[in-house]
Structure formats: structure tokens, C-alpha cells
Amino acid sequence: MALTNYRVETLNGFNFISLKGGTTTESGSALTTFAGPAGQYDLVLGYFDEDDRTFAQLEVKLNGVSLAQWTLTQKLGLISVVSKNLVRRTVGVNLSLAPGDRIEIIGRESPDEPARVDYLQFIPVL
């Protein structure tokens, strides 16, 4: 993944990308190019929605077109990076993907929540 502003953070046994550090209002991007076989896929993002007073936002784009955009407002019970806060969200269903397609994750942090993203998963639709 090509990271802009996002950097790798390791915490509590997890290894993920984050906007922690720097200023408290950064936006970041993680761009990857699809390299699997052409076909239909569901796209799933794994990210941390922490119990914070202010809320980060995430967005996922396919070839520059927004697939999903949301605010991290869930109350899962903890403020930290823990498995309980690791959310799986389907951001695209039955997408036609071909090698070279660009998938971009965009994070906008809040002062409390650094828009931490753990994984992006392509699930072939059978």
C-alpha cells in the first residue's frame, strides 16, 4: 500500500495504519492496486472504532469513486486498540474488479480518534 500521512503503528499486539502523532486533524490515504484475478468481489475493511468523544471518518474509493463513507461513532465499550473495537465493515458488494483497479482508503482523524485501519480484504463472490 502507498501511504500518504498514514503510518504504521503497533499497539496491543496489533499492527495497523494510523494517523496518531503529527497534528490532531490530519487526513491520510492508503492506496493499493488490485492484483488478483478479474472477477466479482466483496470488499471488507477492518478498522478500530474506539469510544472517543470526537469521531474519525473513513472512506473507501474504487478508481476514484466513493464506495462508502462513514463516521466512527460506535460505542463498543473501550477507548483503546483492542479486538472488541475491531470492526469489519463491508464497503462494496459484488464489485467487478480487474488487475490494476485502484482501491483507496481515506481517513480523517478527530482529536481523539486517529482513524486506525487494520486490513482490507477481497472476498471472491462464488
Least distance from Ca ion to the Cβ atom of residue 56, Å: 6
Surface-to-core class of residue 106, CB atoms within 10 Å of its CB (0-12 exposed, 13-18 middle, 19+ buried) = buried
Cα separation, 48 vs 83, in Å, equals: 8
Q: Are 43 and 60 in contact (CB under 8 A)?
A: yes
Pick from 9, 26, 59, 118 the residue near Ca ion by CB under 5 A.
Answer: 26
Is the Cβ of residue 72 or residue 103 nearer to Ca ion in the bound state? 72
Is residue 9 a contact residue for Ca ion (CB under 5 A)?
no
Q: Cβ distance 6 to 29 under 8 Å? A: yes
CB of 62 to Ca ion, least distance (A): 24
Report which residue's Cβ sits closest to Ca ion.
72
* Footprint (CB under 5 A) of Ca ion, residues 46-105: 49-50, 52, 72
